């Protein structure tokens, strides 16, 4: 059982109460099944109420849950014969991004994603899923390789952002991200991205110039973290909850703004409650997206991607006299 998040407290409390009652009934040998039934029904309603109507800040908590399935968890469930490929061929292998080749329902594909660790040790090795330039350059190498062999590409987005470090700047963090945006625009194969956790700024977008963009129901995609926005707006990072609302970062917000194509529903309580079932749901969306895109010619695939990003923006054309 995963650790509860603060907004889940009423559920946890009620569950404890039901357990207590059960224990009591057993020990005292009295029939309390009616009371227990009533409480169980109340629990069911409460879960529906809380999980189906989550505040943006609650979704941020779910998206950041350490036990939330990562790229490698989904790869294991969705693809077969995955072989991880390492390195950017220039400098290093950045473990904050993983990638490789695998079968998707018998079809060869390339899969790439941000990768955070679950325990501290792995998190340090993977730099908490915050890539250096070599991570983005590895991703681009694998994308160009996929293009050569005409494999579709699946990208999983799950990062707080590109790493803000000295070495990252020295090796061209800006250039690495920019080059991915530019080169992804020209890929002749279908590319789909799925935001599975946090989609933090340019470091997320560097895997996101794709024909289809999906977001898991409790994932976020933003130009700046809620804490960052709060400290700029109100000089107080503790107002992150308010910033999460103001910045419109949830899957529902992005769908409304027309930026993403679909919201992938999560299992009740969030993907971490049942990663296997979650992967099955995700797989259906990937299948649907790939079916649509493999019907297109190379030119149409590039045009489709161009049209998608070309229309992003919100402005007025003032009528000129």
Partner 1 sequence: MAIKSLLNLNRKKTKGVIVNSKNESSFPADLMTKCPSCRKIFLTKEIETNLKVCPNCDHHFKMTAWERIDSFLDVESFTPFDEHLRTTNPLNFPSYIEKVEADMKKTGLSEAVLTGSGTLKGEEVVVAVMDSHFRMGSMGSVVGEKITRAIEKATEMQVPFIIFTASGGARMQEGVISLMQMAKTSVALKRHSDEGLLFLSIMTDPTTGGVSASFASLGDLNIAEPKALIGFAGRRVIEQTVREKLPDDFQTAEFLLAHGQLDAIFHRKEMRDKVATIVKLHRKGGVTHV
Q: Contact residues for partner 1 (CB under 8 A)?
A: 162-166, 168-175, 177-179, 181-183, 185-186, 201-202, 205-206, 208-209, 221-224, 229, 232-233, 246-249, 253-254, 257, 259, 305-306, 309-310, 312-320
- Nearest residue (CB) to partner 1, 99 versus 203: 203
Q: Minimum CB separation from partner 1 for residue 161, in Å?
A: 9
Q: Minimum CB separation from partner 1 for residue 312, in Å?
A: 4
Q: Minimum CB separation from partner 1 for residue 229, in Å?
A: 6
> How far is Cα 1 from Cα 9, in angstroms, rounded to an integer?
14
- Nearest residue (CB) to partner 1, 108 versus 172: 172
Q: Minimum CB separation from partner 1 for residue 260, in Å?
A: 10
Q: What angle do CA 51, 55, 58 make, to 5 degrees?
A: 75
Which secondary-structure segment (H or E) carries 44? helix 33-52
- Nearest residue (CB) to partner 1, 90 versus 103: 90
Which are the contacts of 43, defined by CB distance < 8 A and separation ≥ 6? 11, 14, 15, 18
Which of 199, 190, 93 is CA-nearest to residue 141?
A: 93
- Nearest residue (CB) to partner 1, 78 versus 260: 260
Q: Minimum CB separation from partner 1 for residue 241, in Å?
A: 16
314: helix, strand or coil: coil
Q: Minimum CB separation from partner 1 for residue 321, in Å?
A: 10
DSSP E strand boundaries for 201-269: 212-216, 220-222, 262-264
- Nearest residue (CB) to partner 1, 62 versus 162: 162
Query: Residue 318 carries which DSSP code?
Result: P
- Nearest residue (CB) to partner 1, 142 versus 229: 229
Which are the contacts of 271, defined by CB distance < 8 A and separation ≥ 6? 62, 68, 69, 196, 216, 218, 278
Q: What angle do CA 197, 251, 186 make, to 5 degrees?
A: 80
């Amino acid at each position: 059982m995963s650790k509860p998040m603060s907004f889940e407290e009423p559920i946890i409390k009620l569950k404890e109460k039901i357990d207590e009652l059960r224990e009591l009934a057993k020990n005292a040998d009295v029939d309390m099944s009616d009371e227990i039934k009533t409480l169980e029904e109340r629990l069911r309603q409460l879960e529906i109420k809380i999980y189906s109507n989550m505040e943006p800040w609650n979704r941020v908590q779910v998206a950041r849950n350490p036990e939330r399935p990562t790229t490698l968890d989904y790869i294991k469930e969705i693809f077969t014969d995955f072989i991880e490929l390492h390195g950017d061929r220039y400098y290093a292998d950045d473990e904050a991004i993983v990638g490789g080749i695998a079968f998707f329902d018998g079809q060869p594909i390339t899969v790439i994603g941000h990768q955070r660790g679950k325990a501290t040790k792995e998190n340090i090795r993977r730099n908490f899923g915050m890539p250096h330039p070599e991570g983005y350059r590895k991703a681009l190498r694998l994308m160009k390789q996929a293009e050569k062999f005409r494999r579709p590409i699946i990208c999983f987005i799950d990062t707080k952002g590109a790493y803000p470090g000295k070495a990252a700047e020295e090796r061209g963090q800006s250039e690495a991200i920019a080059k991915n945006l530019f080169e992804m625009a020209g890929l002749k194969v279908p590319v789909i991205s799925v935001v599975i956790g946090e989609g933090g700024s340019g470091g997320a977008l560097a895997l996101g110039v794709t024909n289809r963009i999906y977001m898991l129901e409790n994932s976020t995609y933003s130009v700046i973290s809620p804490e960052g926005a709060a400290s700029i707006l109100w000089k107080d990072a503790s107002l992150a909850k308010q910033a999460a609302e103001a910045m419109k970062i949830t899957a529902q917000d992005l769908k409304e703004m027309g930026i993403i194509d679909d919201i992938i529903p999560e299992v009740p309580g969030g993907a971490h409650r049942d990663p296997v079932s979650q992967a099955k749901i995700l797989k259906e969306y990937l299948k649907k997206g790939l079916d649509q895109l493999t019907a297109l010619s190379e030119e149409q695939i590039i045009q489709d991607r161009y049209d998608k990003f070309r229309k992003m923006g919100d402005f007025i054309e003032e009528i000129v006299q």
